[in-house]
C-alpha cells in the first residue's frame, strides 16, 4: 500500500484511459501528459497501461508500505525521499516506511509517479483512471491507501534518461478540425498569428483560452468531440477539450491538437502562453 499522508492539490491515479464506452458518453480519461507518463513507465519496464499517479501543481506526501522501485517525471517539482533530494526520470528503490515528499513546482504543471508493476486502484469499465461518477473517488485525499505489489529485486536495463523537455515550448501542433472551413480571414489571422493565454478555467476536462476570436452564428447538430478538440463558441471563445472532456458537443470543432500537443498543453497553467501551428 501507498499511504497518502498529504494529498496535494489534485492527485489522481491514471492509466492510458477508458476505451469502448464513448458511445455511452464516457470520456477516455487517462494521463493528461502521455509523453511524460509513458517515459516513467518505460524506465520501470512497465507497459503503457500500468497506472501512475498524476500530481497537479502541489505534490503530495506519500509513505511506502512495501519495497519497490519508482520513477517520477513530467513537471519539474522538487522532491525528497526520506529528506534526500531525488531526480526525475531515474529509477529509485524504496523500502517500507520510506517517505516521498514533494516541494515546490518549478516548471510545468503535472508530474507523474510510476511504480514497478503499476498502482492497483480498482478497475472500473476497463481502466483504473479516476473519473467522477465512474470511479469511487475523483482525486485522492489524506489517509487514502493505494495498493501496489511489493518488488524486492529489479535490475532496470536503463536507470536514467535525459529528457528533451517540452515544458518551455509553446507552439501547439494542430490539424484542421471538421468545421475549420467556417473560419474567415480575420479569424484565421488571429488564430495563427496571435498568442493565447491559458485562462483560470483549466482542468482535466478542458482548457479555456483568454483571448477570443470574432464570434460567429454557425449552429450545428451535436456531434462527437475528442481530447484535443478546439471548440469555438458563438461569442468567440476557444475551448480545448482534454482527457476528461465530454464526448459530444454542439460547438464548431475548428482545430484538433496532435497527441504531443495535448501533452504539452497538459503542462500549461493559468496565464501561460500558447500558439497554434497547422501541420
Partner 1 sequence: MSTYDISIRPFGVHSILVEWPNRVEEAILEDILQFIQHLENHCFEDELWEMVPAYNSLTLIYREKPIDFDSFKGKLLEWYAADKKQVYREKILWRLPVCYDPEFGIDLEEVSERSGLSMEEIIKLHTEHRYTVYGIGFLPGFMYLGGIPKALEIPRKSKPRPKVLKGAVGLAGKQTGIYPQDSPGGWNIIGNCSVPMFEPKKSAPCFVSVGDKVQFYPIEKAEYDLHKIEGEVGIYKVEKIILDA
Least gap, CB of 146 to partner 1 (angstroms): 19
Q: Which is nearer to partner 1, 97 or 250 (CB)?
A: 250
Q: β-strand 84-85 against 68-81: which pairing, if any?
A: antiparallel
Task: Specify the residue for cell string 506519500.
Answer: 62
Binding site for partner 1 (CB under 8 A): 19-27, 124-125, 133-135, 175-178, 220-226, 228-229, 246-249, 253, 256-259
Least gap, CB of 29 to partner 1 (angstroms): 11
Helix (H) or strand (E) holding 192: helix 185-193
CA distances in angstroms from 111 to 2, 53, 71, 209, 219, listed in the order given: 17, 8, 11, 22, 39
Q: Which is nearer to partner 1, 161 or 226 (CB)?
A: 226
Least gap, CB of 79 to partner 1 (angstroms): 32
Least gap, CB of 235 to partner 1 (angstroms): 15
Q: Which is nearer to partner 1, 156 or 178 (CB)?
A: 178
Residue closest to 1 by CA, chosen among 97, 128, 139: 97
d(CA 7, CA 60): 5
Least gap, CB of 12 to partner 1 (angstroms): 16
Q: Which is nearer to partner 1, 156 or 249 (CB)?
A: 249
Task: Identify the three-state secondary structure at position 39.
Answer: helix
Q: Which is nearer to partner 1, 157 or 221 (CB)?
A: 221
Residue closest to 218 by CA, chosen among 206, 236, 194, 238: 236
Amino acid at each position: 500500500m501507498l499511504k497518502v499522508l498529504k494529498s496535494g492539490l489534485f492527485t489522481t491515479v491514471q492509466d492510458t484511459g477508458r476505451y469502448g464506452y464513448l458511445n455511452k458518453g464516457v470520456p477516455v480519461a487517462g494521463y493528461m501528459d502521455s509523453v511524460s507518463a509513458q517515459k516513467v513507465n518505460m524506465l520501470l519496464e512497465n507497459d503503457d497501461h500500468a497506472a501512475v499517479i498524476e500530481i497537479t501543481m502541489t505534490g503530495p506526501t506519500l509513505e511506502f508500505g512495501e519495497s519497490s522501485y519508482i520513477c517520477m517525471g513530467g513537471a519539474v517539482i522538487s522532491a525528497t525521499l526520506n529528506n534526500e533530494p531525488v531526480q526525475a526520470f531515474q529509477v529509485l528503490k524504496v523500502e517500507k516506511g520510506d517517505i516521498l515528499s514533494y516541494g515546490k513546482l518549478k516548471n510545468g504543471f503535472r508530474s507523474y509517479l510510476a511504480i514497478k508493476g503499476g498502482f492497483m486502484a480498482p478497475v472500473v469499465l476497463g481502466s483504473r483512471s479516476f473519473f467522477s461518477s465512474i470511479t469511487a473517488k475523483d482525486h485522492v485525499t489524506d489517509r487514502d491507501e493505494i495498493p501496489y505489489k511489493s518488488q524486492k529485486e529489479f535490475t532496470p536495463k536503463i536507470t536514467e534518461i535525459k529528457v528533451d523537455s517540452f515544458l518551455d515550448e509553446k507552439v501547439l501542433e494542430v490539424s484542421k478540425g471538421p468545421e475549420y472551413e467556417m473560419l474567415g480571414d480575420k479569424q484565421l489571422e488571429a488564430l495563427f498569428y496571435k498568442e493565447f493565454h491559458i485562462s483560470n478555467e483549466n482542468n482535466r476536462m478542458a482548457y479555456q483560452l483568454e483571448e477570443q476570436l470574432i464570434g460567429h452564428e454557425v449552429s450545428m447538430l451535436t456531434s462527437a468531440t475528442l481530447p484535443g478538440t478546439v471548440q469555438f463558441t458563438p461569442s468567440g471563445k476557444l475551448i480545448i477539450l482534454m482527457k476528461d472532456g465530454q464526448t459530444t458537443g454542439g460547438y464548431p470543432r475548428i482545430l484538433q491538437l496532435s497527441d504531443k500537443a495535448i501533452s504539452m498543453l497538459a503542462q500549461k497553467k493559468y496565464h501561460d502562453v500558447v500558439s497554434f501551428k497547422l501541420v
